[in-house]
Structure 1
Amino acid sequence: MLRIRAIASSVPDRAAFHGVQAAERNLGYGHLLFPSAAYALPRGKGKLDEAETLRLMPDSPASLPVASAQLSHADLALQAVASLREQVPAEDLAAVTHIVVANASLNQRINESVAGRIQHALGLDEALPFAVGQSGTAGVYNALTLVEALCHQDASVLLVATDKWLYPFFRAWGDLVAYGDGAAAMLLDSRDGEGWGRIYAHAVDYGEAIANPWALTPNDLADRLLPQAILAARAALDKARMRPADIEWMLPAGFGEGFANRVGDELGISPARRMAREGCHFSSADPLLAMQRLRASLQPGQQATALLWDAALCGMSGAMVAQISAAA
């Protein structure tokens, strides 16, 4: 079991978005133009053709948090960490032994270590930094296995999740999901004491990767992602020794309402216990922001047991069961 000491975030202002791919271009990604970098592209070279646009365009414009060109996702991470510093005593951050960074997008400055910048900003010369990638937007769930192992060795871990989407990568997959920019930081350990709450259990399912997701319709993608999300959610419930009836709130990842409801129906969680979302997926930071929103909704002295889940287009899905306490 992991104790959540605190969570803080940095989310850019929302902007109107009507398209498929991220709009901001970055000269630092010039290396993607070389033939040898074709494997790193989100799809083949060239612009989206008309058929792809019709297949993947959302039905209506979205309002997404979009970071300015001046901010990299490392900058967003540092903003979240700076907010965390205002919440917890300086001696608690000074006691951090490990820094774990989870992200799905490439950093805007390709020669920069995000974990290293955080380590330097906090002056944690002795802390050991880790980076967890290749997990899609389920990076936090994938990182929790590492975090829990470290905390059981009496570590204090700073987990930071951050993403910013740049062209040519996709922000939207029809009405299934649209990704926004943002970062969040969470301080964890396994000790007794006060804090935001506890993570009772977590699970990751390493499903088969969707080899060509942009060639599928959003509905077809939803059909592929649904069983992955269910597997991870049920595994987390089993590990926590809980039934769906024990869950007071399901905090779905930022998918469209239709997909989130399909997951809730499969799990047997009533609509009254499904927390509404804000119309976008906050990428790697999504689960931390969901817990932050849940805490803000609770009355003083109240606690809530929540199920969080996500399913990434890379074939990975994750879930956790957490108890969140209201602010004192």
Structure 2
Amino acid sequence: MESESKQVMKQRKKQVEVLDILKEALTIFFKNTNFSIFTLLTSLPLLLLMVHFETLFQQTLVDTVRFLNHVFLSLNRRFDGGFRYHYPYQYGSRVSLDQDYTVFSSKDYLPNLIQLVFMYLVPLHVLEIGSAILTVYVSSKLKSEEERMSLKGMFQESFDASTMKGTFITSLYLLALSSGFLLAVPWIVNNTFTIGFYSYIVSALICFAALTKLLIVYLEWSAIWNMSIVISVMDGIYGVGALRVSWFLKSGDQKRGLYLMLVFFALGVCFRLPCIFLGCYEGGYGIFVQVGLFFVVNTLKWVSCMIYFCDCKERKLEKKIVDVELGKDLQSGS
């Protein structure tokens, strides 16, 4: 009996891995036209805000990088005997340190930064959670039911005030935790410059090691946080309770959640970096293409989190059944 139970668990683990989760998410999204239309229509306010947010975010990011280059090269110049030099080319033109600092110290920088933080904490967060709730709820119905839902049925069944309110409470906990992690990034960079500013190699190694570790922890916790949102939508458990259940379901399965979140993190970076280097934030249609790709990736992420939650829940139930059966066998054997 014991060997049969272990064999059942091994077979179950082989059935649903990260690639299987992604394949099922792609199937739900692309083979259900009504679902694709539903997620697009319910995400329109989020998409419109994302266009402005991404434009502002990329411009602020570029200005911040220029300022950090100025500070780092200024510190290095002092240790090189006061030698004054320029870094040769910046975005296609020759830019001096003084010019670069002027770009950063522009009167628009601080207001843009404040606006960016406010948008991230309030309207963007509310719209993203609202879109996530509707996506998770309808995709879970499509996963569990063999019949295809109509577009009208999706709108009629998806809106639940109590679920919206409870899940939003859960999201506030997640917003506080994720914001704490984001604040750790500039803190690490600042300490890296303080410890190893006299050496490019030392600074780079320390910063790379610290940020890599922070990224791994962030992605592992992101899997727990995102699953807690799914738990709030599907099981009606909110706040700290949802986080506890998510932690319990994910215990012993950290790598799969890490790899799943790494896929969507890498896709987000791959879509954003070309847009930054091409200067899409300066105008044109590039930013709309990026936001459209973000919409698809974000929808697939929440569908994948729903599938991941269902699989983790089934695994825990199977393990509990196996443990109970083993316990009965031991008692009967004694």
- Whether the TM-score (by the shorter chain) exceeds 0.5 is no
User: Which structure would you say has the larger RCO, counting Cα contacts within 8 Å and 6 or more residues apart?
Assistant: 2
Structure exhibiting the larger radius of gyration computed from Cα positions: 2
Q: Which has the higher helix share?
A: 2
TM range (shorter): under 0.3
